[in-house]
Amino acid sequence: MKIETVSENTCFGGRQGVYSFDSNETKTPMRFAAFVPAQAATKKVPVLWYLSGLTCTEENFTVKAGAQRCAAEHGIMLVAPDTSPRGANIEGEDDAYDFGSGAGFYVDATEAPWSENYRMYSHVVSELPEAVFANFNANPDAQGITGHSMGGHGALTIALKNPDTYKSVSAFAPIVAPSDCPWGQKALTGYLGPDQATWAQYDATRLVEGGNRCNKILIDQGGADDFLENQLMPEKFKAACSSAGQPLELRIQEGYDHSYYFIATFIEDHIRHHAASLSN
């Protein structure tokens, strides 16, 4: 699969780039950011996928999280896709911050007019890895996934549905029960329709309750997060994991909010969590 280079910069001995390709899933050009560590010059390196939250692009994590230094230390490639198609020319796609552009929710939409372009689940799980493994010296047998907020939701659901692909998983302030919160209810209704039975495949809490499992999950959640009570509800997921025997480490970090200052503080812990599984 051919990709175009948008930009490349030397970073911690490796290369931080932004790339683009024409997506068959979204029917639009799609960008992704990739940090390739120096170790990739001599061997296939593990890949950690990072899924961003509402309103974000591939740039937010790359610029704000400060993840490259630790990734370089552990020889891990970081890949951050965009959060939705851009310029699909769907009426209303740019009207709200929490639906449409910048808010793909990592689902494959089934409702018109979104179903033609909003196929972010397949883009992240199948199409983007195909592009990455065809163009970089990366190891398809050593993949981990993480994300923030809406992206944390994506990381958890993708890992739970594909445990043989993703050897490690973590999340920052994830939307763990989208069927029960305003952000999720709006997005899932719009993309999947009103039948809540169809939502369960994209709801981490319901997936665990339904029998899906993955390797140990690490979640960091800010205790001063404005969205903690009505949108994120980590205790729902904790209860489901406890009942099901799904390994989970949920850390409430007091005083931290929903911002990238929070992510930057704990990103090294998460990279080490992934390295423990991916570097073996």
Cβ-count burial of 243 within 10 angstroms (0-12 exposed, 13-18 middle, 19+ buried)?
A: exposed
In Å, what is the CA distance from 106 to each residue of 6, 22, 148, 231?
A: 24, 18, 12, 17
Let me know if 225 is a catalytic residue: yes
Let me know if 148 is a catalytic residue: no
Q: Which residues pair with 107 in a beta bridge?
A: none
What is the side-by-side strand order in the sheet with 14-22?
4-11, 14-22, 29-36, 77-81, 45-51, 138-147, 166-172, 217-222, 248-253
Which residue of the set 23, 84, 101, 149 is catalytic?
149
Distance of alpha carbon 67 from alpha carbon 54, whole angstroms: 20
Which residue of the set 153, 170, 225, 274 is catalytic?
225
Let me know if 153 is a catalytic residue: no
Distance of alpha carbon 96 from alpha carbon 180, whole angstroms: 20
Cis peptide before 247 (omega within 30 of 0): no
Q: How many helices (H) and strands (E) does the chain have?
A: 9, 9
End-to-end CA distance of the chain: 29
> In sequence order, which residues have a C-beta less than 8 Å from that of residue 73 and are 6 or more positions away?
none
Which residue of the set 148, 258, 270, 274 is catalytic?
258
Following CA atoms 222, 223, 229, 235 in sequence, which dihedral angle do they give, to the nearest 10 degrees? 80
Give the three-state DSSP class for 121: helix
Q: Which residues are catalytic?
A: 149, 225, 258
